[in-house]
Structure 1
């Protein structure tokens, strides 16, 4: 069972992705929202900016897990932990469609890293249940941004 605090905070962390999907799917609503809060906070733009932030954040989480390892496994864990942040930095330019596609790939890759760190026994036992749920929400929302954006 996923503890309540990580579950609720994780789900809250998906709200910008969900908001971006809603404002992408509803252009008239997006226009009104953009006039109220700014164009950076609607449609695929909020998803792209926030997605890069979250991939970077997750690099830090993985780094923390790597501290539980020793020797070569620790070194490998540290190297792997920086990949999501580097991916976000190098791959999210070039327009909303390509950046969205690269973020989808980044979150899929992150899920693979989550699985590896879990397999190594470095994560809490509930970690993969949480990460699969959150990744499914994020990737679905990003797909909406890419397809409709």
Structure 2
């Protein structure tokens, strides 16, 4: 595994901001009230946590689709099929109440990590991919867990 390109690392870290902010609004009433007053209900607590979690899980499915495009012709169908699983998981499993939806997103991100590993093992993902995905997945899962426990 090689080093993560600086731009990819910085953009990935920036992508954590909504997860962090939603966790803050879940544990801090003043942060919740300020965010609600300035930004509205879409940008606080469980709504932000779950909606952004679904968006990013679907986005990551698109990343896997891009990796699948590099697969050999005989392997491509399975790669494309695997690449749509995170988006379908987000769509079908992130409904219901905030606790069950949050847990299902956590399972979705853990499943995504398994797919990341498989695409990396097949040498379809960049060599540095798991150096980025392991800590990012740990952070996202921990932040989603705040929502499950709040």
- Tell me the TM-score normalized by structure 1: 0.96
* 1:32 equivalent in alignment to 2:31: no
CA RMSD across the alignment: 0.9
| 5+ residue gaps, structure 1 | none
100-109 vs 32-41, which moves further: 32-41
* 1:91 equivalent in alignment to 2:93: yes
User: For residues 44 and 131 of structure 1, what CA distance do their matches in structure 2 show?
Assistant: 24
CA deviation digits over 1:5-43, x for unaligned, max 9?
Answer: 000000101110011111111123212221221111011
- Runs ≥4 in structure 1, deviation > 3 angstroms? none
Matches within 5 A, 1:75-86: 75-86=77-88
Matched residue, 1:74: 76
Matched residue, 2:44: 42
| 5+ residue gaps, structure 2 | none
User: For residues 39 and 98 of structure 1, what CA distance do their matches in structure 2 show?
Assistant: 20
Counterpart among 12, 16, 21 of residue 14 in structure 1: 16
CA deviation digits over 1:60-92, x for unaligned, max 9?
Answer: 100000111113321110000000000000011
Matched residue, 2:102: 100
- Tell me the TM-score normalized by structure 2: 0.95
Aligned residues: 148
- Match of 1:72, SS state, is coil
